[in-house]
Amino acid sequence: MAEKKTLRDTLLNELNIQPYLIKDDGHFPNNSKLPLLVYSGAVKITGDESIDQVEQLLNQNGWSGIWINGVFPYHHYHSTAHEFLVVCKGDARVQFGGDQGMTLEIKKGDAIALPAGMAHKKLDESMDFQVMGAYPDGQSYDMNYGKDSERQYAERNIANVSLPVADPLYGEDGPLMEKWR
């Protein structure tokens, strides 16, 4: 009798994760404790069915508030929630950490875990670029743009954002749980 494959078995490639610790740049708090995590080529996206399955997997692992769209073309961050992005279609160049931050080329199948406070901005994209976003259950995002007037409450909010209960793709024993301890 053949073993039944789980969503995780069906959807995920071999783990290849890069952590990037991006500190406060004076405009954006970013996150000096939790690294940005890039899961390169983590997800097997073969069509709309697999996109639906990614949503199911995120929900199973305690991530919700799921949306599908793009990344805003201006620097912004969330002080009240961590965010997880999965590239469903196309590719883009996204800058993380503000104007002095790092730029990454992201493509279909890549995923990114952004800790609360991490600035991000789309620089350019392919015509078909589409990303899925999600937040840990119980967290709702706010929008911040690096203004001085946001800073005091944003820093307090970031310090109070709880860690997720599971890695959005790999569950309770996933790499996010280890790298965000």
pLDDT tens string 95-135: 999 999 999 999 999 999 999 999 999 999 999 999 999 99
User: Which of 8-17, 18-27, 87-96, 123-132 has the least mean pLDDT?
Assistant: 8-17
User: Which of 5-9, 101-105, 160-164, 176-180 has the least mean pLDDT?
Assistant: 5-9
Residue 27 has pLDDT above 90, yes or no: yes
132-167: per-residue pLDDT in tens? 999 999 999 999 999 999 999 999 999 999 999 999
Question: Mean of the per-residue pLDDT values for the chain?
Answer: 95
| Domain containing residue 26: CATH number | 2.60.120.10
CA distances to 6, 48, 118, 120, 145 from 135, in Å: 22, 21, 14, 15, 19
**Which neighbouring-strand residues pair with 39?**
17, 111
Residue 7 belongs to some domain of the structure: no
Please tell me the predicted confidence (pLDDT) of residue 68.
97
Residue 63 belongs to some domain of the structure: yes
Torsion, Cα 95 97 102 106, to 10 degrees, reads: -40
Residue 172 belongs to some domain of the structure: yes
52-81: per-residue pLDDT in tens? 999 999 999 999 999 999 999 999 999 999
Residue 4 belongs to some domain of the structure: no
Please tell me the predicted confidence (pLDDT) of residue 4.
67
DSSP the chain: -PPPPPHHHHHB-S--EEEEEE---SS---EEEEEEEEETT-B---SHHHHHHHHHHHHHTTEEEEEEE---SS-BB-SS--EEEEEEESEEEEEESSTTSEEEEEETT-EEEE-TT--EEEEEE-TT-EEEEEEETT-----B-S-GGGHHHHHHHHHHPPPPSSBTTTBTTSHHHHHT-
28-56: per-residue pLDDT in tens? 999 999 999 999 999 999 988 999 999 99
Residue range of the domain that includes 31: 12-179
pTM: 0.94
Please tell me the predicted confidence (pLDDT) of residue 1.
52
CA distances to 45, 59, 70, 158 from 139, in Å: 26, 13, 20, 12
Is the Cβ–Cβ distance between 132 and 85 less than 8 Å? Answer: yes
Residue 55 belongs to some domain of the structure: yes
CA distance 55 to 64: 9
Q: How many domains does the chain have?
A: 1
Is the Cβ–Cβ distance between 136 and 177 less than 8 Å? Answer: no
Residue 51 belongs to some domain of the structure: yes
